[in-house]
Structure 1
């Protein structure tokens, strides 16, 4: 038991030096797998294999990184970039007092405009006037549009100056990121800035002459609430709208909100939204039109006439019907949704029926707060009311109706996306919206650290004529059950019987 219970010590009777020598001889001759010599041979083979494996893995990783860099457009000189430069455009060197404003293609435009060869931007195809016209309808069709200069820098400057002159000071506070001025500027980001972040607030605005009119149209109003859960319904009749305008847009120079007795003196004022409002008293539809532009410009949301039925939830308006409920990766909600009202095609007598050969409807529209289109529409209405001596002799269509609204929409598409009105003729069911992967793929290769940027969407969605005018039976409009149909206009036309509407 003593032998079995204890380890056998063969060399305990030898001196320590002899023990070491004997142990070495025994292990060397035994050929044991655990001998030092055998262990060294096994370790060397395993180590060589592991080392070779690591080398191949490292080579594979480096190769994969280089391939990825080449595929995604990285360049050796760009690895240390700290800012995003406009693709295909040299850096802009600004002189004192100058500013650069970029369009959707990353093209810089300078304000004040330069007269020398250093001017950025340059002429585009939209700048040149053709004696033959831009469409088959000839130059006469082009001349009915009153479009802004195609330079984004001049366009933005014009809107800024309008805000400074006619809006309260709180709307033009450049230090406030939520002021109208700051929001307006956010729609013109440079290529190094993130895309716009503006969204359409979940509120639906309606207006009518009085509360009785609202009550008569309640079934259609309820349809909007039913199809758009969580959206607030905001109503203002003529009296409420008048009070809102006078309070919201009172300039700092006003001692108090104008009452009915002071309105006549305000009509002589040359500045301010209230002054323009007072000159648009008859027919009443002038104020109805003006109010819808104002409320969307300063609050944002959806405006619709009381005789319009909601066919599809507003959340689907920005989607292409072909997506069938699926949205592409990186999809961004539009900040402006408008629909074509008229598209005359090659009809030569179009001017007898419509103010514009391609016209945008304003009985239903959606906009984020501070969108350039809504502010530009307000500008056009105000300047005509206050500065045009012949304004009262012009038709409703031209003073506040689809005329100025269409001009504002097409001006923005021209300035921001280089789209002419002829480009929007014959739109298919998906309508039109700028998308960098299709319209400007070079924008997606200019990331901060060299990798590809996510999809870049334009802020404006233009619906085909079926969008807000389904079932009209002409100009390519499809049935109300078509996937592209979003809202149905009843064409009540009650404004046509108002005093002064027959001009």
Structure 2
């Protein structure tokens, strides 16, 4: 009997049948697994039209830092925040993936790829980062890629397709890539000045020195230990830089926020909750703001906060009775402030501050480290009490200038003030978020205390070859 079986399995026909059966089994297993995943979100085929879209502006009852989607048989996830959390779980102890993402209209092997950009692109894909997987996503690959990555959350892809202009899609795409796969995203008109592995976020000795030489800053809920070297035994989950720190009375005429975070270069672990909240906000805003979104939007949003979902109520226009808030007509809505507050640095900065405040209010162990509060403007250690220095005017361009405001805001209200990030010269840690000074991603701009590109804190230089202020599609990386 055993001899007959051996002969049977030895024939070519038998091998083909066995391989075919294994292939069918694998395909069926994959299909059933995917079906189970989708069914956890949508019990019936049409339920994806009624996924709830919570507002990110009123999340005071939720600990966003610990938000984890729990799948229960009778508690399917109809909430987009839960769906995103489940599809892309966050592991704070994992390393930052060694990936680099960029986008452009065509791939690098296309003759239409700009020669100048090819020079910039090689700094990211060449010998300076040999252990990093480099991916440039051209236009014709974007939708297939997103449909693959975000198949469990199709509303996100739908929102991307509905965006009326390409600069919005360009902003949204960078968040989507990092949230799903992590790594570093940088605009195509940027130059890598120092290898990624030398950045503070990747440098264990830099991180440990930063923690061990600076006491954690207390806040109202703080009950942590002063011995916090173990609190950052892993890399930060999100690394961002300062884009704008305009110390002038008319800052509001030139910038979206008093402290504005840069989003032309971002480093992140996949699933980071700040990116989740950003994607939730942009998806909900888009579906509620464009005409004919194809979903019953009034059944999906929280009608108590209806204005939160309409980009035309953002910022100064919110209280402008003469502005036609509800008359949004697709591509007509391309004012600079709309882009800033829809997908750009405005909403990016808002979500970061909202998340930090939420974390402080719901947790008693958030690590706050700011070496800039312990040093003079020249970087030397200070033995003079901050209040005395402030009175003498010795800190005109130092974070120490804001010491009293920072201390009062944190210890009285668990509120992260913008001043915490003013005039940074060294990186700052807020839980697992690292904020780099303006010099890191904006060296040589000639204002706001940014230093030259050869400074020790300069890592990426933005060439501004595709400023959307001149032509909103020029730096979008997408077809018109």
TM-score by length of 2: 0.55
Quick one: distance in 1 between partners of 2:135 and 2:80? 25
Contact 2:69 2:85 in 1 (8 A): no
- From 226, 229, 237, give the equivalent of 2:138: 237
Matched, 1:343 2:245: yes
Structure 1 322/373 Cα, relative in aligned 2: closer, same or farther at 3 Å?
closer
Matched, 1:220 2:120: yes
Structure 1 369/280 Cα, relative in aligned 2: closer, same or farther at 3 Å?
same
Relative contact order (alpha carbons < 8 A, sep ≥ 6): 1 or 2 greater? 2
Quick one: distance in 2 between partners of 1:362 and 1:227? 22
Larger radius of gyration: 1
Return the offset for 1:422.
2.0
Quick one: distance in 2 between partners of 1:379 and 1:218? 34
2:255 maps to what in 1? 354
Quick one: distance in 2 between partners of 1:217 and 1:162? 46
Contact 1:301 1:367 in 2 (8 A): yes
Q: Which is richer in helix?
A: 2
Structure 1 419/398 Cα, relative in aligned 2: closer, same or farther at 3 Å?
same
State the secondary structure of the residue aligned to 2:241: strand
Matched, 1:431 2:427: yes
1:422 maps to what in 2? 418
2:270 maps to what in 1? 369
Quick one: distance in 2 between partners of 1:168 and 1:250? 15
Contact 2:179 2:276 in 1 (8 A): yes
Quick one: distance in 1 between partners of 2:473 and 2:201? 41
Quick one: distance in 1 between partners of 2:208 and 2:446? 30
Contact 1:166 1:273 in 2 (8 A): no
1:486 maps to what in 2? 459
Contact 2:258 2:418 in 1 (8 A): no
Which structure 2 residues correspond to residues 145-156 of structure 1 after superposition, within 5 A?
149=59, 153=63
Matched, 1:317 2:203: no
Return the offset for 1:426.
2.3
Structure 1 159/411 Cα, relative in aligned 2: closer, same or farther at 3 Å?
farther
- From 379, 402, 411, give the equivalent of 2:345: 402
Quick one: distance in 2 between partners of 1:432 and 1:339? 10
Structure 1 424/315 Cα, relative in aligned 2: closer, same or farther at 3 Å?
farther
Return the offset for 1:248.
2.7
Return the offset for 1:397.
1.4
State the secondary structure of the residue aligned to 1:334: coil
1:308 maps to what in 2? 190
TM-score by length of 1: 0.52
Quick one: distance in 2 between partners of 1:500 and 1:316? 31
Return the offset for 1:217.
1.4
Contact 1:377 1:405 in 2 (8 A): yes
- From 144, 147, 150, give the equivalent of 1:246: 147
Contact 1:298 1:369 in 2 (8 A): yes
Quick one: distance in 2 between partners of 1:288 and 1:158? 28
Structure 1 354/231 Cα, relative in aligned 2: closer, same or farther at 3 Å?
same
State the secondary structure of the residue aligned to 2:191: strand
Quick one: distance in 1 between partners of 2:77 and 2:191? 34
Q: Deviations over 1:339-395 (max 9, x none)?
A: 0000112x1211211111110010001000000111111111111101136545362
* Pairs aligned (count): 296
Contact 2:202 2:235 in 1 (8 A): no
Contact 1:149 1:155 in 2 (8 A): no
State the secondary structure of the residue aligned to 1:344: coil
RMSD: 3.5
Contact 1:202 1:230 in 2 (8 A): yes
Quick one: distance in 2 between partners of 1:165 and 1:287? 23
Which structure 2 residues correspond to residues 24-173 of structure 1 after superposition, within 5 A?
149=59, 153=63, 164-166=78-80, 173=86
Contact 1:322 1:430 in 2 (8 A): no
Contact 1:150 1:415 in 2 (8 A): yes
- From 269, 273, 280, give the equivalent of 1:379: 280
2:53 maps to what in 1? none
State the secondary structure of the residue aligned to 2:102: strand
Range with bigger deviation, 399-408 or 215-224: 215-224
Structure 1 297/214 Cα, relative in aligned 2: closer, same or farther at 3 Å?
farther
Contact 1:150 1:414 in 2 (8 A): no
Contact 2:100 2:134 in 1 (8 A): yes
2:102 maps to what in 1? 206
1:470 maps to what in 2? 443
Structure 1 498/462 Cα, relative in aligned 2: closer, same or farther at 3 Å?
closer
Return the offset for 1:215.
5.6
Contact 1:317 1:337 in 2 (8 A): no
2:173 maps to what in 1? 291
